[in-house]
Amino acid sequence: MTELTITPLTLHIGAQIDGVDVTQPLDENTINLIRAALLKWKVIFFRNQNLDHPQHIRFARYFGAPTPGHVIFGSDETYPEIYSVAKHRTANARRAPVIHSWTNWHTDITAAINPPFASILRGVVVPPYGGDTHWTNAAKAYQSLSPALRNFLDTLRCVHQYAPSVGPATENTADQYEKQVGKTAFISEHPLVTIHPETGERLLYISPDFVDCIVGLSPTESRAMLEMLWRHLVRNEFTVRFKWEQGSIAFWDNRATAHLAPADIFDSDFDRQFYRITLQGEVPVGVDGKPSTAISGQPIEPIT
């Protein structure tokens, strides 16, 4: 029987797990303890775990069904579950021209009708310094709002899109995106506040990189409300900052967090090579019990 040591890294999010070798097969009790720690701390970290691709995939499958490495940018040719997070990858082209405190914070692929439940990222080539990643607790951010504002937000829905260069998210936008890039756009309408399917927590579901607008508000009202909420979401006391080492793993609940990939690595000559697996998620549900709806794009299917 494995005895895990779980060390919290902040008051509200993040814990390091020691006492387990995830390169080896895991017993059911260990799997359950890791999942419980994930649900409690939202993101969990392991050190000195030098996984290869097959071991990474086996570890991920203990907790869910892997999806294609990245539904936009593709996957490893041999291991379709694996997405290469290299220093100079395609996703970096989406940098915002205007920088705010929430710029580049995101929850993975929320433009899809069923965003991933979790992501598991491992560091293989890690800079000696720089390149830290941040996560924030969307449940704590929601709980910290006033009751009156929470009640209002509970009634709202947002449009999330992965077509940032072609204007407001509509079915017409999806057609434009497909003509420009040759792929179907992911555009979905999600509740602004979702219910975590395992813990029952209420979560601010407002991925800054993907939310286009709040349904029913004017553009001015929507933008002002979103900017206030994004600024609140990434307050320091809700976040954890992780310093990577070679062999580190970060495993986060994509339903309950947003994260910030590092930009400082582009100011150095250091290389950085990580690999990620995402696990299939469910369709989010709001406080009123109504699920999200798809505007464009199909559900993300697992790799069997």
Q: List active site positions.
A: 106, 108, 259, 276
Three-state DSSP class for residue 29: helix
Q: How many residues does the chain have?
A: 304
DSSP class of residue 292 equals P
Sheet holding 105-106, edge to edge: 105-106, 257-260, 133-137, 239-242
Distance CA 2, CA 34 (A): 11
Distance CA 206, CA 258 (A): 9
86-110 burial, b at 16+ Cβ within 10 Å, e below that, comes to ebeeeeeeeeeeeeeebbbbbbbbb
**For residue 212, what are the CA distances in angstroms to 23, 99, 173?**
40, 17, 12
Q: How far does CA 91 lie from the centroid of its chain?
A: 14
| Residue the block writes with tokens 């720690």 | 37
